[in-house]
Amino acid sequence: MPRVIVTDKLRSYGAAHREVMPSVEHRSHQGLNNRAENSHQPTRQRERARKGFRSVGAAQRFRDAFRGISPHFRPRRHRMTAAHYRAEMTVRFAIWDQITGVAGLSSIP
């Protein structure tokens, strides 16, 4: 059993605490639960990525299709100089334009 329960300032937590675990100390403060909130960060990033999709299934289908494309535009930046990164991205976008057939199209109609 925990010694302390830390929550944010939502008032209903106090009532739930008194009913479920009255012997445990309850601390409610704005900054005390930062550690718990940070542990949810990967989950929140996944939720943010799903926004704009009608369903979880649609998001997963997009992710599965995009999985092979995404690394092409995200080189390991920490291992490159800025000039090398710019040159690498120029090459990668040129390859992408050739694959998608955009290379032969003009941007002005």
pLDDT of residue 15: 83
Q: Which of 16-20, 26-30, 64-68, 91-95 has the highest mean pLDDT?
A: 91-95
Q: Are 29 and 5 a contacting pair, CB within 8 Å? A: no
pLDDT of residue 43: 66
**pLDDT exceeds 90 at position 62:** no
**pLDDT exceeds 60 at position 28:** yes
**pTM score above 0.95:** no
Q: Which amino acid is at 109?
A: P
Q: Which of 43-47, 49-53, 99-103 has the highest mean pLDDT?
A: 99-103
Averaged pLDDT, 9-13? 76
Residue 31 CB-density burial (10 A; 0-12 exposed, 13-18 middle, 19+ buried): exposed
Query: SS3 for the chain, per residue?
Result: CCCEEEECCCCHHHHHHHHHCCCCEEEECCCCCHHHHHHCHHHHHHHHHHCCCCCHHHHHHHHHHHCCCHHHHCCCHHHCCHHHHHHHHHHHHHHHHHHHCCCCCCCCC
Confidence of residue 7 (pLDDT cuts 50, 70, 90): confident
Q: Considering the chain, what is the average pLDDT of its residues? A: 79
